[in-house]
Structure 1
Amino acid sequence: MTEQLTPDDVLRLRMRALGLTADSWAAVPAGQAGPAEQAGATEAGSGTNESTGTGTGTDRVCADRGTGAERITAVARRMLAVQGQDWRSSRWALGVRAPGSRVDDVLEAFAQRRIVRSWPMRGTVHVVPAEDIGWMQAATNHRVLAGAPKRREFLGMSDAALDRLVETSLAAIDATPGLDRDALAAAWTDAGIEWQSAWRYHVVWWLCQNGLATFGPIGAGGEPQLVRAEGWIETPRQLDGDAALAELATRYAIGRGPVRDKDFAWWTGLTVREARVGIEAAAEAGALVRAEALDAAGDPVRGVAGALWVDPELLGSVSDRGDLPEWSLLTAFDEHLLGYTERAVQLDPEHFDRIVPGRNGMFLATVVHRGRVVGTWKRARTKHGGLEVTPFPGSRIDAAALAPLNTVAAEFHGVPPGEVTVAQA
């Protein structure tokens, strides 16, 4: 019998899958855990699904075990990809899911070659487990690379210019342990290349999107630097075809909870048809199961819109009515919202413009009450720090209740916590 999920069920399961409840677990794909992760794994479960390569049971590692870098890596593997265009925000997106971690643990995970920052899909920067970036790009590149020639035409960059820039870039990267964007541009100038400022982002994207380079070790400026992907990533996984699509679908649902096929298509940038191929392959392997969405009145949601796909282990916990966290402070671009196209259980649609002012694609950091977004926050720009909170109309936010969370976030980043102030709605 197909499980029927109420909106409250979907919210609870999503929060658990997202690593935002006390009983959340970080999943480590089989064969990819380091010695410390393997030692900390639970004894329950049956190992690897042979069709997808996705770990179950013995490959699930609690995000509060191991070293800080191992805990951050466990979160990254559970989430598969965390939106990363805002460098500071991406670090907290990992840290908030690994209690007790610090920003240095994230930097160490990069230094240990466990995670990288690159473009796995959708033409968007993400933080990804190092072993997964290659096969993810191979599965999704056809959707993003097709538009590159038109983009270069707009930029006034010829194919010959791109070839020379790539050749010069790789030579410069090979000559250093890590190269930042400014040093890369300086190498172009030293090589006598006449380039335009608008070209730099495209070239860096092209290098990373094609798996020639990736952002790995942390430089003196505190951000990841460009390295050769082939030399930096020590144990890349090899997946292609339907197996890669099935792995994408499985890992996406493990880290997001109940999802629809259109959610998966949007998140990966794949077509809906391709998304369904991946979901169907994962379902045939038993890695995903179908559930039926109920509306607020308890009636089934008809048609394709009512079909939800869920990790069976997560679905097995649907009867666990464990409490959602009373309050959460989530970063800008957090997967709590960015992981879905259908996010009404987490955010009242009428407040979307307050999260993305002007609908410009820039998601603000959010205050979450029992799984639902009720306001936004930002760090005060003063030497004493502090949190400035703006509630949605009709929402009441308790500054005192947020104070401990503010302290945790400040300790993670190594900044003064300051006071929490709640603005007029």
Structure 2
Amino acid sequence: MGRSWKQSDIARLRLHAQEILTAAERDPAAAVDAMTAMQGQDLPGTLWAIGLRTGARTEADVRDAFDTGAIVRSWPMRGTLHALTPGTLRMILPLSRDRLVTSLRARHRELGITASDIADAARAAEAGLSTGSGRLSRTELFAVFEAAGQPTAGQRGSHVAFMLAQSGLLCLGPFIGKEQAFVLLDDWAPMTTTVPDRDEALATVALRYFRSHGPATVADFAWWARLTLTDARSSAAAISDQLSVIDVDGTDYFVAPEVIENTPLAKPSVRVLPGFDELLLGYTDRSAVLDPRHSALIVPGNNGVFKATVVVNGHVVGTWLRRDRAKAVDVTAQLFQQLSPTQERDLVAAFEQYGTFRGKPVELKVVSLETSGAH
């Protein structure tokens, strides 16, 4: 008789699949590529999400990967910024582009954006980025749009830049101070492999998603990649022979066989994750990791902004806030679950790892949150 799987097992298996539990010492681009794509709305958090999965790498190492074109940020799916390698970006962009662009038509009518406007902005951006350093800050790019007769006020500039990124013309690459600059994707990171056709790309992305995010359902994959359920089901079926399927409460979850074989289900773990981390946002159903009673503590007011989290054995048990100083990082961890003495020591160690990544010591303060239903 096979093993009986529980929701708590899903959380721990995902820690291993995402290489949070036992991060390998590898370069940032390899870590990002293993994840296929990683949430990238909050840039400082994105850097830590990558560093967390590289073992002993530092923030400078991750920034260098962006500065050399090994990693870029763009909007490959769901209209959301992600970090990914240029090759993966080119493969994913066409998969949900039409649905995404169609969903924006009403908003673009409100903003007065036409196909002709996008074409004019593309020509201006290409000309502006083909001279000098080949990189423009957001402010500089918007100035190029304005000079070409394309207003940028009222989110219009952001939507125009987004459309140029959707076409594969632009992406966010090297740093200018704390900000990433816009660059021409093909100039910044020239294509080195052929982009597969749609069916092959769907199957490839499905396999990589389930291997890096499993256990996950077809519905999780459809949401994550912004695909129709039909496309998600067919691509999952095409690669199902390379995955294991586990049943949890009557629902099938796809997972890499080695994740099941190698995950130490009994070994305790404490990790500190950035806001918007894939462990939480990589799925449409987050209940295996986040107790619904605590959702309002992670996304206050349901405003779409996810706080950084403290995770014990794959489950969210608190949040944390940071404040940078010149020579240290002040961190306040707010817990809504009491930790054991061992877990408290592991929490300190987890923040020491974050301090090493940042190149600054962490001054840690831990407080307990009294919440209804917290345990």
Q: Residue 162 of structure 1 corresponds to which residue in structure 2?
A: 118
After superposition, the CA RMSD in angstroms is 2.2
> How far apart, in 2, do the equivalents of 1:308 and 1:88 lie?
32
Q: Residue 210 of structure 1 corresponds to which residue in structure 2?
A: 167
Q: Residue 373 of structure 2 corresponds to which residue in structure 1?
A: none
In the alignment, does 2:40 pair up with 1:90?
no
> How far apart, in 1, do the equivalents of 2:137 and 2:47 lie?
19
In the alignment, does 2:366 pair up with 1:385?
no
Q: Residue 323 of structure 1 corresponds to which residue in structure 2?
A: 267
> How far apart, in 1, do the equivalents of 2:332 and 2:118 lie?
45
State the TM-score, normalizing by the size of structure 2: 0.90
Q: Residue 256 of structure 2 corresponds to which residue in structure 1?
A: 311
Q: Are 1:242 and 1:277, in contact at CA under 8 Å, matched by a contact in 2?
A: no
Task: Tell me the number of residue pairs that the alignment of Structure 1 and Structure 2 aligns.
Answer: 365
Deviations 1:113-164 (A, max 9, x none): 2111001111110001121101101112122111233221111234333332
In the alignment, does 2:218 pair up with 1:275?
no
1:250-265 paired onto structure 2 within 5 Å:
250-265=207-222
Structure 2 residue aligned with 1:171, among 104, 127, 151? Answer: 127
Q: Which runs of 5+ in 1 are unaligned?
A: 25-62, 66-70, 294-300
Q: Are 1:132 and 1:236, in contact at CA under 8 Å, matched by a contact in 2?
A: no
Q: Residue 242 of structure 2 corresponds to which residue in structure 1?
A: 287
> How far apart, in 2, do the equivalents of 1:257 and 1:116 lie?
24
Structure 1 residue aligned with 2:200, among 235, 238, 243? Answer: 243
Q: Residue 411 of structure 1 corresponds to which residue in structure 2?
A: 356
> How far apart, in 2, do the equivalents of 1:159 and 1:96 lie?
41
> How far apart, in 1, do the equivalents of 2:202 and 2:254 lie?
14
Deviations 1:66-106 (A, max 9, x none): xxxxx211210111111001101000000011121111111
Q: Are 2:206 and 2:239, in contact at CA under 8 Å, matched by a contact in 1?
A: yes
Q: Which amino acid aligns with 1:411?
A: T
Q: Which runs of 5+ in 2 are unaligned?
A: 371-375
Q: Residue 149 of structure 1 corresponds to which residue in structure 2?
A: 105
Q: Are 2:214 and 2:253, in contact at CA under 8 Å, matched by a contact in 1?
A: no
Q: Are 2:151 and 2:157, in contact at CA under 8 Å, matched by a contact in 1?
A: no
Q: Which amino acid aligns with 2:172?
A: F
Q: Residue 99 of structure 1 corresponds to which residue in structure 2?
A: 55
Shift of 1:6: 2.6
> How far apart, in 2, do the equivalents of 1:399 and 1:387 lie?
15
Structure 2 residue aligned with 1:369, among 306, 312, 332? Answer: 312
Q: Name the CA shift for 1:342/1:189 in 2 (closer, same or farther; >3 Å).
A: closer
Deviations 1:10-42 (A, max 9, x none): 2221110011112x5xxxxxxxxxxxxxxxxxx
> How far apart, in 2, do the equivalents of 1:162 and 1:112 lie?
28
> How far apart, in 1, do the equivalents of 2:352 and 2:318 lie?
19
Q: Residue 32 of structure 1 corresponds to which residue in structure 2?
A: none
Q: Name the CA shift for 1:133/1:391 in 2 (closer, same or farther; >3 Å).
A: same
Of 381-390 and 248-257, deviating more is: 381-390
1:175-186 paired onto structure 2 within 5 Å:
175=131, 176-186=133-143
Of 379-388 and 367-376, deviating more is: 379-388
Q: Residue 39 of structure 1 corresponds to which residue in structure 2?
A: none
Q: Name the CA shift for 1:236/1:352 in 2 (closer, same or farther; >3 Å).
A: farther
Structure 2 residue aligned with 1:335, among 278, 281, 294? Answer: 278
Structure 2 residue aligned with 1:353, among 296, 310, 317? Answer: 296
In the alignment, does 2:18 pair up with 1:5?
no
Q: Are 2:276 and 2:306, in contact at CA under 8 Å, matched by a contact in 1?
A: yes
Q: Are 1:2 and 1:291, in contact at CA under 8 Å, matched by a contact in 2?
A: no
